[in-house]
Structure 1
């Protein structure tokens, strides 16, 4: 499947510009080492996983790029996605305000470094999830045109939503890497939104994807093993 490289490049560049402008304009300075570290780590991974998908799974990459425009996307998910994006933007704005402009938080340097290392683990979990699930759309929909089936291998053997598990780690680690305790507060709200979406997504999969009921009986936990 051919990937629209111009659209792909535009999406990655636009995301980088938005992230950088929000972080550094809100911080009021570009002399923010943690901010640059975050951008290097996050977009280093974004580019790496994009190149991997381009070579190994262009169909999934196309779905990630265009899934938002598909007609069978669930309406509740469209509303949810808009609200979460607003909250995510507020989260990005709050952290530089907290850590740099007003210095409300004081996060120890060792904890920022540890969080950066743990963030790499979240990227690995994202990667193995992409590797195992060729139907990892950014929206809730059944991909009948791609022959979607239930995925039970890799991290899906342990939790039903490993990408959400990776997102949980990423959100908490980003707040600490950027030096913002208040970022964790909004991060927890985002995690609550992720938990809500996991439940709603499962209802769709139970109703419309053959075999998902049986999979839920085999894998009990949604995001955190032995917890939930």
Structure 2
């Protein structure tokens, strides 16, 4: 399938997948915040996808390369935990908003803040893809594609900006949807899974990617500015 078709199909699958996570646990589509989120996510995904295809098609292809045949057991575990951390909070958010209400729900102002955090997270992920054509979902060196160090743009400030974006994206989403519990869960689970995966990723990159060891000395921040 043409890269454009694969991109749009992938976005459609993501929207349907997120919708299932939000609506199936509660058995209704009567959740305006979730519907608006899905519409915004679909719109900016299509726009950013078209933009990336026009300026960085190799980055889009890199995200579509599974690389599972070279993925280590440790990275499979890390990838699985991170996938859970990205999806479980959405299920918890729907159940908490409609049934549990374990703690006070965030205010309307906080939910708007969540929308802003989500958008910032999305932009950070987009910037990471713009400045690193080798940002693949699995930890491996893409020798056939001429894998080289990415240290420009946002990578001059963060060694793993895509993970920063994931954290902001998911935490912002659950805050926007109105669940304090899911927001806390997303922040905790993602932080733990990201730190674990960074350890695996950097162990590989320090050995196999020329210049990476020196890069870690120049750029101290992994994914949380002033913290880690």
- Superposition TM-score, scaled by structure 2 size: 0.90
Superposition map of 1:15-34 within 5 A: 15-34=14-33
* Superposed CA RMSD: 1.9
Deviation at 1:6, TM superposition (A): 4.2
- Quick check: 1:3–1:62 contact (8 Å CA) kept in 2? no
Gaps spanning 5+ residues in structure 2: where? none
Change (3 A) 1:60 1:74: farther
Deviation at 1:198, TM superposition (A): 1.2
1:89 counterpart = 2:50 = no
Deviation at 1:69, TM superposition (A): 4.1
Distance in 1 (CA, whole Å) between partners of 2:134 and 2:169 is: 22
Distance in 2 (CA, whole Å) between partners of 1:173 and 1:122 is: 8
How far does the alpha carbon of each residue in 1:8-29 deviate from its partner, in whole angstroms, 9 at most, with x for none? 3332222221211221122332
Provide the aligned length of Structure 1 versus Structure 2.
Answer: 226
1:209 counterpart = 2:209 = yes
- Quick check: 1:118–1:173 contact (8 Å CA) kept in 2? yes
Change (3 A) 1:226 1:102: closer
Change (3 A) 1:89 1:166: closer
Change (3 A) 1:108 1:82: same
Question: Which residue in 2 is equivalent to 1:9?
Answer: 8
Question: Which residue in 2 is equivalent to 1:59?
Answer: 58
Change (3 A) 1:47 1:221: same
1:131 counterpart = 2:130 = yes
Deviation at 1:3, TM superposition (A): 4.1
Question: Which residue in 2 is equivalent to 1:186?
Answer: 185
SS in 1 for 2:169: helix
Distance in 1 (CA, whole Å) between partners of 2:203 and 2:93 is: 34
Distance in 2 (CA, whole Å) between partners of 1:29 and 1:68 is: 34
Question: Which residue in 1 is equivalent to 2:66?
Answer: 68
How far does the alpha carbon of each residue in 1:127-179 deviate from its partner, in whole angstroms, 9 at most, with x for none? 22111111111111101111111111111111111111111212221121111
- Quick check: 1:68–1:139 contact (8 Å CA) kept in 2? yes
- Superposition TM-score, scaled by structure 1 size: 0.90
How far does the alpha carbon of each residue in 1:104-140 deviate from its partner, in whole angstroms, 9 at most, with x for none? 3411111101210222222222222111111111111
Question: Which residue in 1 is equivalent to 2:110?
Answer: 111
Change (3 A) 1:131 1:81: same
Distance in 2 (CA, whole Å) between partners of 1:133 and 1:87 is: 24
- Quick check: 2:81–2:193 contact (8 Å CA) kept in 1? no
Change (3 A) 1:142 1:93: same
